[in-house]
Amino acid sequence: MTNNEIEKKLALKNVKPTAMRTLVYKTLVNSGKALSLADLEMQFEKVERSTIYRALKSFEENFMVHPVDDGTGAVKYAVCDDDCTCNIHDLHVHFYCTRCGRTRCMKELPIPEMKLPAGYTYDKAQFIIQGVCPRCD
Amino acid sequence: MTNNEIEKKLALKNVKPTAMRTLVYKTLVNSGKALSLADLEMQFEKVERSTIYRALKSFEENFMVHPVDDGTGAVKYAVCDDDCTCNIHDLHVHFYCTRCGRTRCMKELPIPEMKLPAGYTYDKAQFIIQGVCPRCD
DNA sequence: TTAAACTTTGCAACAGTGTTGCACAAACTT
DNA sequence: AAGTTTGTGCAACACTGTTGCAAAGTTTAA
Ligand SMILES: [Mn+2]
Ligand SMILES: [Mn+2]
Ligand SMILES: [Zn+2]
Ligand SMILES: [Zn+2]
């Protein structure tokens, strides 16, 4: 994705496309996997943790990325589909590879509806499958 | 559960039943919900974080408790069934109530098998449903 | 029963993650 | 151009998880 496309997308989602935000979003979208704050921090040595942090937060608030907690201790962020509103229908399984540490969206696997016992209401869900990915097998 | 029963259970699982370990396990089992290191630390002011930490680790290694990462930032621990080996067949959904912060096992809801794309192997999974529990509704 | 060997606990320290206040810089308004 | 709003960098902090080490406690074996 080009800088220009990214800037357009940010604007579309009501996030002012600053240089930093463009950079962060581009890295995320081009990586093809979920990245943590620390992952991003490493990729561009000279940008401040808090700046990246705040960029991620505004992406999250505007449904551009969703958090994935794969159990490694740091929350990762994956880019949302264009039409995502991060509601129950956009939820999907995530896969965490224990060999390469890569975490990715499995949009082809929506999170199955569960019949909860009486009295429970369903708001959100996280479904993380841990195993080994094709690259590492 | 009485101290005596707990000591027996620890012994059965090859964990030497020291006073601290008995205390930690008892608290966990009697709470009826998953507790984090910090939760436990608060319940008995004068026991060291690292002692509780190590108790939890040995419980975990011996299939007496399983970790639940409900996304609140601290891993919680829930007691296993007696015959649990923490393998794929023991996995179940966990429910996190956003009102009371309580996290509990839903043993009645086993984690559904998912047909992964070719090349992926399935090792473990975490499925956390977030919502409001009957008490809080 | 005592000494040696092993295990558990407490203490202190540390790295990693997430988060915020504040001041300066940059961008936008009038 | 001056004033206002927004973004960034820096520093600090709280919390989680983890470990080395020494003291205390327990087990074993002479
Ligand atoms: Mn995803
Ligand atoms: Mn459970
Ligand atoms: Zn892999
Ligand atoms: Zn509740």
Domain of A94, in residue numbers:
3-136
Q: Which residue has the tokens 């992952």?
A: A39
**Global pTM?**
0.93
Q: Do A120 and B131 touch (CB under 8 A)?
A: yes
pLDDT in tens, A57-78: 999 999 999 999 999 999 999 9
Inter-chain touch B71–A126, beta carbons under 8 Å: yes
Structure tokens at A132: 């080994």
Q: What is the DSSP string of A75-127?
A: -EEEEPPTT---STTT-EEEEEETTT--EEEEEEEEPPP--PPTT-EEEEEEE
Alpha carbon of A67 to those of A75, A91, A132, B77, B91: distances in Å? 6, 11, 21, 22, 23
CATH code of the domain in which B50 resides? 1.10.10.10
Q: Which residue of B has its CA nearest to A127?
A: B127
Furthest CA-CA distance within chain A = 52
Chain A touched by B136 (CB under 8 Å): no
Nucleotides of D under 7 A from a protein CB: 6-12, 15-20, 27
How many structural domains does chain B have?
1
Q: Is the pLDDT of residue A79 over 90?
A: yes
Residue A90 has pLDDT above 90, yes or no: yes
Q: What's the pLDDT tens digit per position in B56-95?
A: 999 999 999 999 999 999 999 999 999 999 988 899 999 9
